[in-house]
């Protein structure tokens, strides 16, 4: 199936749960709410005509322009995106699913945003979600072991956030 | 040595014990395999046949710090690794030497400004004898660094003048996972303990004075 066929099939099935779509992008994508994510991805995996049997990658993207002068022209509101790259070996097609999140849960600084985990659907989601949690700071609700995977376990903050401040020292070692 | 030379038959060599020991040490510098990043590739090239670090007696790369004299820190040291670097350094027997190989270990290198996880120079964690800059350094540069280490060994006077080279050990270990006899909640006391431990070990390792 082509990307437009896949997205049309999804729209007839889920209706307004597909918040937006893009066919012009190099990797065509759909946007869903965090609450609908598991349902949509489960359908993508289990429906025989779609059969997305591989979760390539999960990435977290921080949309924030830290410079206040440039922020007005940035062209986006500050938010986080979690991007899922799905592929079907059987039908040789692929699709990108995006979830838009606030940068902080309830707009309270320090409260990490939450999204349901996909570990029940794809085993490969486990480490990818840990990495996104580690570097971008997104909590995957229901993850079996949501701990840091790359940085030290007592690290503070999530370094790939645009407003991350570098540590001055780590256990006595000068940081910058 | 002046008055002794030439008084024996041709096949007899006279030297001082100190020189003999230093000669043996410098000619059998056993490095520890310590590749942390891309510099390790260059270190392997130095060990392979084209550049052949074995010509200098330093080709026996040991996989354990207990058998090594020389730590070639080849590659980026990040904060998670810093504690392990320090611990491996502590496990090496005296006399021990450290080469900081590459820009990252000399001072952070390309990660100096934006590397949130990179130690800005391995000399913040272990005492460094020789810095070999480069990104990565050519094998010839590493050989040059090894020769500078050998110069240092040649100048050691641990038999006649007591203790060898004193390089201050940095007070920061980077982590708290030290054995209880070396760690203390108070960092000042911990440093005192570690220095006392290092001193005691040096005394034990030092040869008995004639």
The ipTM (two decimal places) reads: 0.75
Q: Is B109 on the interface with A (CB under 8 A)?
A: no
Inter-residue contact B102 to B137 (CB < 8 Å)? yes
Is the pLDDT score of B11 beyond 90?
Answer: no
Compute the average pLDDT of residues B183-205: 79
Q: Is B119 on the interface with A (CB under 8 A)?
A: yes
Is the pLDDT score of B3 beyond 70?
Answer: no
CA–chain centroid gap for A91, Å, is 24
Count of C-beta atoms within a 10 Å radius of residue B104: 30
Compute the average pLDDT of residues A138-148: 90
Query: Tokens representing A60?
Result: 């977290």
Is the pLDDT score of B183 beyond 80?
Answer: no
pTM of the model: 0.76
Say which residue, B2 or B129, is predicted with more confidence. Answer: B129
Measured in angstroms, the CA of B159 and the nearest CA of chain A are apart by 36
Compute the average pLDDT of residues B176-195: 74
Measured in angstroms, the CA of B105 and the nearest CA of chain A are apart by 14
Could you say which of A151, A166, A172 has the minimum Cβ distance to residue B174? Answer: A172
Q: Is A168 on the interface with B (CB under 8 A)?
A: no
Percent of chain B topping pLDDT 90: 26
* Best residue in A173, A174, A176 for a mutation probing chain B (most B CBs within 10 Å): A173
Query: Cα B110–B143–B77 angle (5° rounding)?
Result: 30
Q: Could you write out the DSSP letters of every residue in B37-59?
A: STHHHHHHHHHSTTT-GGGGT--
Inter-residue contact B34 to B74 (CB < 8 Å)? yes
* Residue in the structure block whose two tokens are 């049997």: A53
Mean pLDDT of chain B: 83
How many residues would you count in chain A? 176
Of the pLDDT bands very low, low, confident and very high (cuts 50, 70, 90), residue A135 is very high
Is the pLDDT score of A60 beyond 90?
Answer: yes
Of the pLDDT bands very low, low, confident and very high (cuts 50, 70, 90), residue B171 is low
Of the pLDDT bands very low, low, confident and very high (cuts 50, 70, 90), residue B113 is confident
pLDDT at B98: 92
Inter-residue contact B26 to B57 (CB < 8 Å)? yes
Could you tell me which of A49, A20, A50, A47 has the C-alpha nearest to residue A36? A20
Q: Is B116 on the interface with A (CB under 8 A)?
A: yes
Of the pLDDT bands very low, low, confident and very high (cuts 50, 70, 90), residue B131 is very high
Indicate the burial class of B107 (C-beta count within 10 angstroms; 0-12, 13-18, 19 or more). middle
Q: Check residue B35 and report its DSSP letter.
A: B
Indicate the burial class of B207 (C-beta count within 10 angstroms; 0-12, 13-18, 19 or more). exposed
Measured in angstroms, the CA of B124 and the nearest CA of chain A are apart by 6
Inter-residue contact B141 to B134 (CB < 8 Å)? yes
Is the pLDDT score of B2 beyond 70?
Answer: no
pLDDT at B8: 66
Compute the average pLDDT of residues B153-178: 67
Is the pLDDT score of B89 beyond 80?
Answer: yes
> pLDDT digits over A86-125, tens only?
999 999 999 999 999 998 888 788 789 999 999 999 999 9
A166 contact residues in B (CB cutoff 8 A): 116
Is the pLDDT score of A172 beyond 80?
Answer: no
Could you tell me which of B28, B90, B95, B100 has the C-alpha nearest to residue B62? B28
Domains of chain A: 3-174 (3.30.460.80)
Measured in angstroms, the CA of A41 and the nearest CA of chain B are apart by 35
pLDDT at B73: 92
CA–chain centroid gap for B25, Å, is 13
**CA dist B90 → A126, B121, B169, B182, B207 (Å):** 36, 18, 10, 11, 20
CB A173 to CB B79 under 8 A? yes
Q: CATH assignment of B17-205?
A: 3.40.50.12280
Phi-psi region of A141 (alpha: psi -120 to 50; beta: other; left: phi over 0): beta
Query: Tokens representing A33?
Result: 């709410």
Q: Is B11 on the interface with A (CB under 8 A)?
A: no
pLDDT at B82: 87
Q: Is B85 on the interface with A (CB under 8 A)?
A: no
B118 contact residues in A (CB cutoff 8 A): none
pLDDT at A105: 85
């Amino acid at each position: 199936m082509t990307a437009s066929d896949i997205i049309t099939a999804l729209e007839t099935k889920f209706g307004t749960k597909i918040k937006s779509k893009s066919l012009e992008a190099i990797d065509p994508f759909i946007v869903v709410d965090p609450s609908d994510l598991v349902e949509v991805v489960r359908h993508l995996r289990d429906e025989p005509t779609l059969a997305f049997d591989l979760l390539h990658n999960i990435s977290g993207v921080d949309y924030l322009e830290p410079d206040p002068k440039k922020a007005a022209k940035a062209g986006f509101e500050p938010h986080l995106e979690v991007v899922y790259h799905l592929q079907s070996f059987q039908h040789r097609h692929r699709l990108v699913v995006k979830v838009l999140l606030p940068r902080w849960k309830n707009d309270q600084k320090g409260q990490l945003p939450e999204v349901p985990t996909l570990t029940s659907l794809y085993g490969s989601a486990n480490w990818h979600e840990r990495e996104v949690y580690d570097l971008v700071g997104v909590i995957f609700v229901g993850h079996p072991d949501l701990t840091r995977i790359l940085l030290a376990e007592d690290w503070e903050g999530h370094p790939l956030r645009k407003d991350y401040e570098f540590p001055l020292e780590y256990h006595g070692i000068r940081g910058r | 040595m002046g008055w002794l030379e030439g008084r024996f038959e041709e096949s007899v060599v006279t030297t001082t014990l100190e020189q003999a020991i230093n000669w043996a040490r410098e000619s059998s510098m056993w490095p520890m395999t310590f590749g942390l990043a891309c510099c390790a590739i260059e270190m392997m090239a130095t060990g392979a046949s084209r550049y052949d670090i074995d010509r200098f007696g330093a080709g026996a790369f040991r996989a354990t710090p207990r058998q090594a004299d020389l730590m070639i820190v080849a590659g980026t040291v990040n904060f998670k690794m810093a504690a392990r670097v320090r611990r491996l350094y502590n496990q090496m027997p005296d006399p021990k030497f450290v080469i900081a190989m590459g820009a990252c270990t000399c001072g952070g290198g390309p990660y100096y400004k934006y590397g949130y996880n990179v130690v800005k120079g391995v000399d913040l964690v272990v005492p460094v004898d020789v810095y070999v800059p480069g990104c990565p350094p050519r094998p010839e540069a590493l050989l040059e660094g090894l020769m500078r280490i050998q110069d240092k060994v040649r100048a050691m006077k641990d038999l006649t003048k007591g203790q060898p080279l004193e390089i201050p050990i940095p007070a920061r270990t980077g982590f708290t996972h030290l054995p209880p006899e070396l760690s203390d909640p108070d960092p000042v006391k911990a440093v005192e303990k570690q220095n006392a431990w290092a001193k005691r070990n040096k005394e034990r390792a030092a040869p008995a004075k004639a």
